[in-house]
Amino acid sequence: MRDRSAAGAMCGLFLLVALLVGCQSPSAGVAEDGRLGEPATGTSGAVSPSPTRPSGYGAVFLAVDECSSFGATSFTEVPCSGERAAARVVARHDGAVRDGPRCPAATDFVLHISEQRPASDEDGDGAVPRGYACMRNLQPPHPGDPGGGGGPRTVVGDCVYNSGDGQVRETACDGTGERKPEYRVSRAVTGRADCPGSTALYVRLGGDRPVGCARPL
């Protein structure tokens, strides 16, 4: 009888300990140093809200008006006020460049964003859609400006040289590029017939006025 009583007392003590443990918050684990840790796996308790991200940074990967670090092939999203910020997004589109809208005329360069970049994902879903961001440098030089000698688009005011096989390439109008300028695009029109008589070269621009009228320098 004494053995049975002792066993019953032990069972009652075990039940009491289990109840006391069950009264602890189920939404958090306990670290070895006694501090509350991360939510335990499989619990349904309330989770404290995540800290609010700075406005304009992190909600969507490289959204319009957000900034990237240096580099056109290796880059990360950074706060525009930080010392690592190099360029700002002026337009952002999903899909491939050839299938999407054209970048604005002031674009200095284009960042091609791969379909899967979990390390750069900002919204936590583990994926970033394939797309491209039209970037503008925060500081000069601005190769996308007219005459700047670069950028993804040729615009009025740009200079070009004949690269052979009926092709032309853009170069800086001030002569600081690798090749000297030979022609300057003076006007954008809908057709060649609309170009002035001084036109010596027709340059493909794209858009609503796809023909550039270029005169010799």
User: If you average pLDDT over residues 1-7, what whole number do you get?
Assistant: 47
Banded model confidence at residue 125, pLDDT cuts 50, 70, 90:
low
Structure tokens at 76: 């990360």
The residues pairing with 36 across neighbouring beta strands, listed in sequence order, are 30
What is the per-residue pLDDT across 129-165, written as a single tens digit (0 to 9) for each? 789 999 999 999 999 999 999 999 999 999 999 988 7
Report whether pLDDT(109) > 70: yes
Geometric angle at alpha carbon 103, from 100 and 109, rounded to 5°: 115
Round to whole Å and give the CA distance between 215 and 157: 11
Q: What is the rounded CA–CA span in Å between residue 100 and residue 178?
A: 31
Mean of pLDDT values over 3-9: 47
Pick from 140, 130, 131: which is nearest to 108 by CA?
140
pLDDT band at 52 (very low <50, low <70, confident <90, very high): very low
Torsion 136-140-142-145 (CA) sign: positive
Residue 3 has pLDDT above 70, yes or no: no
Question: SS3 of 133, please?
Answer: strand
Q: Return the H-helix or E-strand segment holding 4.
A: helix 2-22
152, two tokens: 């993804």
| Percent of the chain's residues with pLDDT above 70 | 65
What was the pLDDT predicted at 70?
A: 81
Average confidence score pLDDT of the chain:
75
Provide the token pair at 215.
């005169």
What the block records as the tokens of 194 is 């609309």
CA distance 15 to 13: 5
Structure tokens at 49: 């809200």
Q: What pLDDT score does 143 carry?
A: 94
pTM: 0.64
Q: How many Cα atoms within 13 Å fall on the side-chain side of residue 21?
A: 8
Predicted local distance difference test score (pLDDT) of residue 203 = 95
Q: Strand ranges (DSSP E) for the chain?
A: 67-68, 77-78, 87-94, 109-113, 131-137, 159-164, 167-171, 183-189, 201-204, 211-216
Contacts of 63 (CB under 8 A, 6+ apart): 56, 89, 92
Q: Residue 187 pLDDT > 90, yes or no?
A: yes
Cβ atoms of 122 and 60 within 8 Å: the answer is yes
Structure confidence at residue 126 (pLDDT): 52
Is a pLDDT exceeding 70 seen at residue 42? no
Element (H, E) at 22: helix 2-22
